[in-house]
A and B are shown apart, each in its own frame.
Chain A
Amino acid sequence: MPLKASQLKVGDTREEVVLEHLTRTQLVMYAGASGDYNPVHTDEVFATKVAGYPTVFAHGMLSMGATGRMLTNWVGDGRLTKYGVRFVSQVWPGDQLTAKATVTALRREGSQHFADLDVITTNQNGQPVVTGYASARLDA
């Protein structure tokens, strides 16, 4: 259900666990679907022996995609007008991700209502992994 401007106020939040426990298989799924086959995400031998990482780690776009689930569950399908993030920390197998959005502004352009949102996704230690923003079209 799309959000209504009349039911929202600045400071309202929505929070959702979007990834319960990241598995290496999930990374394989993301590589296959997205076409990003960088072996640092799926190839333990390459990631550890060549690239020097402790193990494989998630594509940033997997974290952004999972975070998008919280956004579309809140604002409705096909309602986002903008969505952008910075990848601030890597996401590792076993991590749990919780995505949170906060209303920073409610605006009108003509008769169309919009909400601006602050977005942050944190791991199980409370460390931010993705930070960003989104905007969405609202019903009146």
Chain B
Amino acid sequence: MAADKFPVEASHILMFARAINDPNPIYSDADYAAKSEVGAIIAPPTFTQSSAQFDPDYFLRPKIGQAWFGSGKEPSGLQRRAPSGEGSGGGGRPSGAAAGGLHAEQHFEYHQPLRAGDVLTATTRPGKTWEREGKRGGKLHFSESVTEYRNQNGELVVTARGVGVRTERVIEQK
């Protein structure tokens, strides 16, 4: 995930905390937060993942004026035009989670609390890639990416390392 400007806003933190089912007032109550050790509303530990909202090229967000692979009139929006690109599966069933595979691992290092009002810059570099023979989905292709989140003072706040996996075929569910 790359983003030139990721403003960390209290309302976004509130919605994110609700979305992960966490009622901790440090994420929503400015008065409570002011009296806490950190002294301000902070973001939950996994919040930086929502930098996807500020990545102009994030491929799992519908783009205005472009076909989207989720359902509309047809089960996949990409059936409306000649199959091409990710998620179309060339007319067949796409693999893994249909676009970009599945999330296999996620790791965070926290260098300082992430506070409402911070403005982050996210820079991402590719990491290792490797393959493994899977039990159910055929060969598994793993790839790593490392994202550094720096605040408005250029200080490193969070380092995130994600590992994605693509399978050769849909994993059969029991």
Q: Do A and B bind each other?
A: yes
Say whether, besides A50-B93, A83-B110, A87-B102, A45 and B21 are in contact (CB < 8 Å).
no
Contact with A along B34-76 (1 / 0, CB 8 A): 0011100010111001111101001011100000111100011
The interface size bin for chain B is: 35 or more
What residues of A have a CB within 8 angstroms of the CB of B97 in the complex?
38, 40, 51
Are the CB atoms of A43 and B70 closer together than 8 Å? yes
Please, what's the 1-or-0 string for A57-76, where 1 marks a CB less than 8 Å from any CB in chain B?
Answer: 00111101110110111001
Q: How large is the interface on A (under 10, 10 to 19, 20 to 34, 35 or more residues)?
A: 35 or more
The smallest beta-carbon distance between A16 and chain B, in angstroms, is 11
- The yes or no answer to B12 lying at the interface (CB within 8 A) is yes
Q: Is A32 an interface residue when CB atoms closer than 8 A count as contact?
A: yes
**Is B153 part of the binding interface, using a Cβ–Cβ cutoff of 8 Å?**
no
- Contact residues of B: prevailing secondary structure: loop
Known contacts A60-B103, A83-B110: does B60 contact A37 (CB below 8 Å)?
yes
Closest-by-CB residue of B relative to A27 is B19
Q: Are B105 and A87 in contact (CB under 8 A)?
A: yes
Query: Within 8 Å of chain A (Cβ to Cβ): is B106?
Result: yes
Taking Cβ atoms with an 8 Å cutoff, the residues of A that contact B are 2, 18-19, 26, 29-30, 32-40, 43, 45-46, 49-54, 59-62, 64-66, 68-69, 71-73, 76-78, 80-87
| 19 pairs, A vs B, C-beta closer than 8 Å | A18-B21, A32-B15, A33-B16, A35-B50, A35-B55, A37-B61, A38-B100, A39-B68, A39-B70, A45-B75, A46-B71, A49-B75, A60-B102, A61-B46, A65-B22, A66-B22, A83-B110, A86-B105, A87-B103
